[in-house]
Amino acid sequence: MTKPLVESELEIPGQTAVYHGKVRDVYSVGEDILVMVASDRISAFDVILPKGIPYKGAILNQIAARFLKATADICPNWLVDTPAPNVAVGHRCEPFKVEMVIRGYLTGHAWRTYKSGERNLCGVALPEGMKEHDKFPEPIITPATKADEGHDEDISREAILEKGIVPKVQYEKMEQYTRELFKRGTEMAAEKGLILVDTKYEFGLKNGEVMLIDEIHTPDSSRYFYAEGYEELQRKGENQRQLSKEFVREWLIENNFQGKEGQTIPEMSDEWVNAISERYIELYEKITGEEFPREKMTVHPDELRSRILKSIERMK
Protein backbone atom coordinates (compact mmCIF):
# COMPACT_ATOMS: atom_id res chain seq x y z
CA MET A 1 0.00 0.00 0.00
CA THR A 2 1.41 3.36 -1.04
CA LYS A 3 2.03 6.12 1.49
CA PRO A 4 -0.88 8.59 1.50
CA LEU A 5 -0.36 12.17 0.36
CA VAL A 6 -1.60 14.21 3.31
CA GLU A 7 -0.02 17.55 2.40
CA SER A 8 1.26 19.02 -0.84
CA GLU A 9 4.04 21.58 -0.83
CA LEU A 10 4.37 22.98 -4.32
CA GLU A 11 6.26 26.08 -5.36
CA ILE A 12 5.01 27.18 -8.77
CA PRO A 13 6.42 30.13 -10.73
CA GLY A 14 3.82 32.92 -10.75
CA GLN A 15 2.01 31.46 -7.75
CA THR A 16 -0.15 34.13 -6.12
CA ALA A 17 -1.99 32.18 -3.42
CA VAL A 18 -2.56 28.76 -1.92
CA TYR A 19 -5.65 27.46 -0.16
CA HIS A 20 -5.67 24.26 1.87
CA GLY A 21 -9.21 22.93 1.99
CA LYS A 22 -10.55 19.89 3.79
CA VAL A 23 -9.18 17.52 1.17
CA ARG A 24 -7.76 19.69 -1.64
CA ASP A 25 -4.84 22.06 -1.91
CA VAL A 26 -5.55 24.79 -4.44
CA TYR A 27 -2.76 26.89 -5.93
CA SER A 28 -3.53 30.12 -7.79
CA VAL A 29 -1.13 30.97 -10.61
CA GLY A 30 -1.44 34.51 -11.89
CA GLU A 31 -5.04 35.70 -12.14
CA ASP A 32 -6.57 32.98 -14.28
CA ILE A 33 -5.07 29.55 -13.53
CA LEU A 34 -5.74 27.07 -10.73
CA VAL A 35 -3.74 23.97 -9.85
CA MET A 36 -5.81 21.65 -7.68
CA VAL A 37 -4.11 18.81 -5.80
CA ALA A 38 -6.47 16.13 -4.51
CA SER A 39 -4.80 14.97 -1.30
CA ASP A 40 -5.46 11.68 0.47
CA ARG A 41 -7.01 13.49 3.42
CA ILE A 42 -10.54 12.40 4.29
CA SER A 43 -13.21 14.45 6.02
CA ALA A 44 -16.58 13.62 7.52
CA PHE A 45 -19.03 15.85 9.36
CA ASP A 46 -16.82 18.73 8.13
CA VAL A 47 -13.86 17.44 10.17
CA ILE A 48 -10.57 16.22 8.71
CA LEU A 49 -9.84 12.74 10.06
CA PRO A 50 -6.35 12.06 11.47
CA LYS A 51 -5.10 9.60 8.82
CA GLY A 52 -4.91 9.82 5.05
CA ILE A 53 -6.39 7.17 2.76
CA PRO A 54 -3.97 5.74 0.15
CA TYR A 55 -5.01 6.40 -3.48
CA LYS A 56 -8.08 8.41 -2.45
CA GLY A 57 -6.93 11.69 -4.03
CA ALA A 58 -6.04 10.04 -7.33
CA ILE A 59 -9.35 8.18 -7.41
CA LEU A 60 -11.38 11.34 -6.81
CA ASN A 61 -9.38 13.29 -9.37
CA GLN A 62 -9.64 10.62 -12.05
CA ILE A 63 -13.39 10.07 -11.59
CA ALA A 64 -14.08 13.82 -11.51
CA ALA A 65 -12.06 14.41 -14.69
CA ARG A 66 -13.94 11.63 -16.45
CA PHE A 67 -17.33 13.13 -15.57
CA LEU A 68 -16.29 16.71 -16.29
CA LYS A 69 -15.28 15.66 -19.79
CA ALA A 70 -18.48 13.62 -20.21
CA THR A 71 -20.71 16.56 -19.26
CA ALA A 72 -18.92 19.44 -21.01
CA ASP A 73 -21.72 19.53 -23.60
CA ILE A 74 -24.21 20.32 -20.80
CA CYS A 75 -22.25 22.85 -18.82
CA PRO A 76 -18.90 24.63 -19.27
CA ASN A 77 -16.42 23.61 -16.59
CA TRP A 78 -13.10 24.73 -15.17
CA LEU A 79 -10.95 21.72 -16.12
CA VAL A 80 -8.24 21.97 -18.80
CA ASP A 81 -5.76 19.19 -17.97
CA THR A 82 -4.92 16.38 -15.52
CA PRO A 83 -1.12 16.25 -15.67
CA ALA A 84 -0.87 13.72 -12.82
CA PRO A 85 -3.23 11.20 -11.21
CA ASN A 86 -4.11 13.51 -8.32
CA VAL A 87 -3.65 16.91 -10.01
CA ALA A 88 -6.03 19.00 -12.11
CA VAL A 89 -5.21 22.29 -13.84
CA GLY A 90 -7.81 24.71 -15.13
CA HIS A 91 -9.52 28.08 -15.09
CA ARG A 92 -9.80 30.15 -11.96
CA CYS A 93 -13.43 31.10 -11.32
CA GLU A 94 -15.07 33.21 -8.64
CA PRO A 95 -16.98 30.58 -6.65
CA PHE A 96 -20.57 31.02 -5.56
CA LYS A 97 -21.01 30.52 -1.82
CA VAL A 98 -23.64 27.83 -2.36
CA GLU A 99 -23.44 24.09 -2.96
CA MET A 100 -26.17 22.70 -5.19
CA VAL A 101 -27.18 19.44 -3.53
CA ILE A 102 -29.60 17.27 -5.50
CA ARG A 103 -31.26 14.17 -4.11
CA GLY A 104 -33.08 11.39 -5.93
CA TYR A 105 -33.65 9.28 -2.82
CA LEU A 106 -34.49 9.73 0.87
CA THR A 107 -31.04 8.87 2.19
CA GLY A 108 -28.31 10.25 4.45
CA HIS A 109 -28.94 13.78 5.76
CA ALA A 110 -32.38 13.87 4.11
CA TRP A 111 -33.39 10.66 5.91
CA ARG A 112 -32.02 11.86 9.25
CA THR A 113 -34.08 15.03 8.84
CA TYR A 114 -37.17 13.06 7.84
CA LYS A 115 -36.75 10.55 10.67
CA SER A 116 -36.71 13.43 13.19
CA GLY A 117 -40.24 14.33 12.09
CA GLU A 118 -39.41 17.21 9.77
CA ARG A 119 -41.23 17.27 6.46
CA ASN A 120 -39.43 20.23 4.95
CA LEU A 121 -35.84 20.32 3.79
CA CYS A 122 -34.38 23.55 2.42
CA GLY A 123 -37.86 24.82 1.61
CA VAL A 124 -38.81 21.61 -0.21
CA ALA A 125 -41.85 19.72 1.09
CA LEU A 126 -41.16 16.01 1.67
CA PRO A 127 -43.97 13.49 1.01
CA GLU A 128 -45.50 11.56 3.88
CA GLY A 129 -45.16 7.81 4.24
CA MET A 130 -41.64 7.39 2.89
CA LYS A 131 -39.06 4.87 4.10
CA GLU A 132 -35.31 5.26 4.20
CA HIS A 133 -33.80 4.97 0.67
CA ASP A 134 -37.17 5.39 -1.08
CA LYS A 135 -37.01 7.22 -4.40
CA PHE A 136 -38.50 10.71 -4.57
CA PRO A 137 -41.18 11.27 -7.24
CA GLU A 138 -38.73 13.78 -8.78
CA PRO A 139 -35.19 14.71 -7.69
CA ILE A 140 -35.15 17.60 -5.22
CA ILE A 141 -32.57 20.38 -4.91
CA THR A 142 -31.57 21.13 -1.30
CA PRO A 143 -28.83 23.79 -1.35
CA ALA A 144 -26.26 24.42 1.36
CA THR A 145 -24.20 27.49 2.10
CA LYS A 146 -20.52 26.87 1.39
CA ALA A 147 -18.49 27.41 4.57
CA ASP A 148 -14.76 28.17 4.42
CA GLU A 149 -14.48 26.61 7.87
CA GLY A 150 -16.85 24.53 9.99
CA HIS A 151 -20.21 23.16 8.92
CA ASP A 152 -22.08 23.88 5.71
CA GLU A 153 -25.66 24.94 6.44
CA ASP A 154 -28.93 24.00 4.76
CA ILE A 155 -30.60 26.93 3.02
CA SER A 156 -33.68 27.37 0.85
CA ARG A 157 -33.87 28.71 -2.68
CA GLU A 158 -35.97 31.60 -1.36
CA ALA A 159 -33.37 32.55 1.26
CA ILE A 160 -30.55 32.46 -1.28
CA LEU A 161 -32.39 34.90 -3.52
CA GLU A 162 -33.72 37.06 -0.69
CA LYS A 163 -30.23 37.49 0.82
CA GLY A 164 -28.68 38.07 -2.59
CA ILE A 165 -26.17 35.25 -2.10
CA VAL A 166 -26.56 34.41 -5.80
CA PRO A 167 -28.35 36.66 -8.32
CA LYS A 168 -31.64 35.20 -9.62
CA VAL A 169 -30.57 34.73 -13.25
CA GLN A 170 -27.38 32.94 -12.25
CA TYR A 171 -29.13 30.83 -9.62
CA GLU A 172 -31.71 29.66 -12.15
CA LYS A 173 -28.88 28.69 -14.49
CA MET A 174 -27.27 26.71 -11.64
CA GLU A 175 -30.57 24.93 -11.01
CA GLN A 176 -30.89 24.07 -14.69
CA TYR A 177 -27.34 22.74 -14.87
CA THR A 178 -27.82 20.79 -11.63
CA ARG A 179 -30.84 18.91 -12.95
CA GLU A 180 -29.22 18.21 -16.33
CA LEU A 181 -25.94 17.06 -14.79
CA PHE A 182 -27.77 14.77 -12.35
CA LYS A 183 -29.76 13.26 -15.22
CA ARG A 184 -26.55 12.56 -17.18
CA GLY A 185 -24.84 11.16 -14.07
CA THR A 186 -27.84 8.93 -13.39
CA GLU A 187 -27.73 7.56 -16.95
CA MET A 188 -23.99 6.91 -16.78
CA ALA A 189 -24.32 5.19 -13.40
CA ALA A 190 -27.14 2.97 -14.70
CA GLU A 191 -24.88 1.77 -17.52
CA LYS A 192 -22.57 0.38 -14.83
CA GLY A 193 -25.32 -1.16 -12.70
CA LEU A 194 -25.38 1.69 -10.20
CA ILE A 195 -27.93 4.21 -8.91
CA LEU A 196 -26.76 7.80 -8.42
CA VAL A 197 -28.59 8.54 -5.18
CA ASP A 198 -27.56 12.12 -4.47
CA THR A 199 -24.69 14.46 -5.19
CA LYS A 200 -23.57 18.07 -5.04
CA TYR A 201 -22.27 20.52 -7.60
CA GLU A 202 -20.33 23.73 -7.13
CA PHE A 203 -20.34 26.58 -9.59
CA GLY A 204 -18.31 29.70 -10.20
CA LEU A 205 -18.26 32.71 -12.48
CA LYS A 206 -15.68 33.47 -15.16
CA ASN A 207 -16.11 36.36 -17.59
CA GLY A 208 -19.79 36.52 -16.68
CA GLU A 209 -20.36 32.82 -17.46
CA VAL A 210 -21.55 30.24 -14.92
CA MET A 211 -19.09 27.34 -14.88
CA LEU A 212 -18.98 24.01 -13.07
CA ILE A 213 -16.03 23.83 -10.68
CA ASP A 214 -14.47 21.30 -8.29
CA GLU A 215 -15.23 17.57 -8.53
CA ILE A 216 -18.41 15.83 -9.66
CA HIS A 217 -19.90 12.36 -9.19
CA THR A 218 -17.10 11.10 -6.93
CA PRO A 219 -17.60 9.04 -3.77
CA ASP A 220 -16.83 12.15 -1.72
CA SER A 221 -19.45 14.32 -3.40
CA SER A 222 -21.98 11.61 -4.28
CA ARG A 223 -23.71 8.50 -3.06
CA TYR A 224 -24.31 5.38 -5.13
CA PHE A 225 -26.41 2.24 -4.60
CA TYR A 226 -26.03 -1.02 -6.50
CA ALA A 227 -29.05 -1.25 -8.82
CA GLU A 228 -29.21 -5.03 -8.56
CA GLY A 229 -31.25 -5.96 -5.50
CA TYR A 230 -32.41 -2.40 -4.74
CA GLU A 231 -36.14 -3.15 -5.01
CA GLU A 232 -35.91 -6.36 -3.01
CA LEU A 233 -33.93 -4.74 -0.21
CA GLN A 234 -36.48 -1.91 -0.05
CA ARG A 235 -39.35 -4.40 0.22
CA LYS A 236 -37.57 -6.18 3.06
CA GLY A 237 -36.64 -2.92 4.78
CA GLU A 238 -32.96 -3.86 4.71
CA ASN A 239 -29.94 -1.62 4.19
CA GLN A 240 -28.95 -0.83 0.63
CA ARG A 241 -25.55 -1.80 -0.75
CA GLN A 242 -23.79 1.54 -1.02
CA LEU A 243 -20.71 2.86 -2.72
CA SER A 244 -20.06 6.19 -1.04
CA LYS A 245 -18.39 7.79 1.94
CA GLU A 246 -21.51 7.09 4.02
CA PHE A 247 -19.92 3.97 5.54
CA VAL A 248 -17.25 6.24 7.07
CA ARG A 249 -19.94 8.51 8.56
CA GLU A 250 -21.79 5.46 9.90
CA TRP A 251 -18.59 4.17 11.53
CA LEU A 252 -18.06 7.55 13.18
CA ILE A 253 -21.66 7.68 14.42
CA GLU A 254 -21.32 4.17 15.85
CA ASN A 255 -18.25 5.43 17.69
CA ASN A 256 -20.07 8.49 19.08
CA PHE A 257 -18.65 11.11 16.75
CA GLN A 258 -20.61 13.53 14.57
CA GLY A 259 -18.27 16.51 14.63
CA LYS A 260 -19.95 18.07 17.63
CA GLU A 261 -18.16 19.98 20.34
CA GLY A 262 -16.66 17.76 23.02
CA GLN A 263 -16.66 14.62 20.85
CA THR A 264 -13.43 12.74 20.12
CA ILE A 265 -12.54 11.25 16.76
CA PRO A 266 -12.20 7.46 17.21
CA GLU A 267 -8.85 5.82 16.54
CA MET A 268 -8.29 4.75 12.94
CA SER A 269 -6.40 1.47 12.78
CA ASP A 270 -4.21 0.62 9.78
CA GLU A 271 -6.67 -2.14 8.92
CA TRP A 272 -9.56 0.34 8.85
CA VAL A 273 -7.57 2.83 6.75
CA ASN A 274 -6.78 0.08 4.21
CA ALA A 275 -10.43 -1.01 4.20
CA ILE A 276 -11.52 2.54 3.33
CA SER A 277 -8.92 2.64 0.54
CA GLU A 278 -10.23 -0.62 -0.90
CA ARG A 279 -13.79 0.76 -0.86
CA TYR A 280 -12.66 3.78 -2.85
CA ILE A 281 -10.90 1.51 -5.34
CA GLU A 282 -14.06 -0.60 -5.60
CA LEU A 283 -16.09 2.45 -6.57
CA TYR A 284 -13.49 3.54 -9.14
CA GLU A 285 -13.57 0.13 -10.80
CA LYS A 286 -17.34 -0.14 -10.66
CA ILE A 287 -18.10 3.28 -12.08
CA THR A 288 -15.38 3.27 -14.76
CA GLY A 289 -15.55 -0.40 -15.67
CA GLU A 290 -11.74 -0.46 -15.56
CA GLU A 291 -9.17 -1.93 -13.20
CA PHE A 292 -7.58 0.68 -10.93
CA PRO A 293 -3.93 1.05 -12.08
CA ARG A 294 -2.22 1.24 -8.68
CA GLU A 295 1.27 1.09 -10.15
CA LYS A 296 0.63 4.26 -12.20
CA MET A 297 -0.73 6.34 -9.33
CA THR A 298 2.57 7.51 -7.83
CA VAL A 299 4.60 10.26 -9.51
CA HIS A 300 8.00 11.47 -8.29
CA PRO A 301 7.80 15.08 -6.97
CA ASP A 302 10.25 16.37 -9.62
CA GLU A 303 8.26 14.75 -12.42
CA LEU A 304 5.02 16.04 -10.88
CA ARG A 305 6.29 19.62 -10.89
CA SER A 306 7.51 19.29 -14.47
CA ARG A 307 4.13 18.03 -15.67
CA ILE A 308 2.28 20.84 -13.88
CA LEU A 309 4.54 23.51 -15.38
CA LYS A 310 3.95 22.12 -18.87
CA SER A 311 0.17 22.26 -18.33
CA ILE A 312 0.35 25.84 -17.13
CA GLU A 313 2.52 26.86 -20.08
CA ARG A 314 0.00 25.42 -22.53
CA MET A 315 -2.76 27.54 -20.93
CA LYS A 316 -0.88 30.81 -21.30
Query: What are the structural domains of the chain?
Result: 95-244 (3.30.470.20)
| pLDDT given at position 3 | 85
Pair 259, 151: CB distance under 8 Å:
yes
Would you state the pLDDT for residue 147?
64
Name, in order, each residue with C-beta under 8 angstroms of 134's C-beta and a sequence gap of 6 or more: 105, 106, 234
Amino acid 206: pLDDT = 95
Residue 268: what are its φ and ψ, rounded to 5°?
-105, 110
The answer to whether 188 touches 77, Cβ cutoff 8 Å, is no
What are the beta bridge partners of residue 225? 195, 242
Q: Say what percent of the chain tops pLDDT 70.
A: 98
pLDDT, average across residues 10-18: 92
Choose the most confident range, by mean pLDDT, from 142-151, 175-184, 271-280.
175-184
pLDDT in tens, 224-273: 999 999 999 999 999 999 887 888 988 999 999 999 999 999 999 999 99
Please state the pTM of the whole predicted model: 0.89
With 60 as the cut, is the pLDDT of residue 96 above it?
A: yes
**Sorting pLDDT into bands at 50, 70 and 90, what band is 151?**
low
Asked whether residue 189 carries a pLDDT value surpassing 80, the answer given is: yes
pLDDT of amino acid 301 = 78
85 in Cβ contact with 63 (< 8 Å): no
Amino acid at 304: L
- Asked if 147 and 155 touch (Cβ cutoff 8 Å), the reply is no
Determine the pLDDT at residue 220: 83
Query: Do 285 and 193 meet the contact criterion of CB atoms below 8 Å apart?
Result: no
Greater confidence (303 vs 157) lies with 157
Q: Is the pLDDT of residue 181 over 80?
A: yes
At residue 294, does pLDDT exceed 70?
A: yes
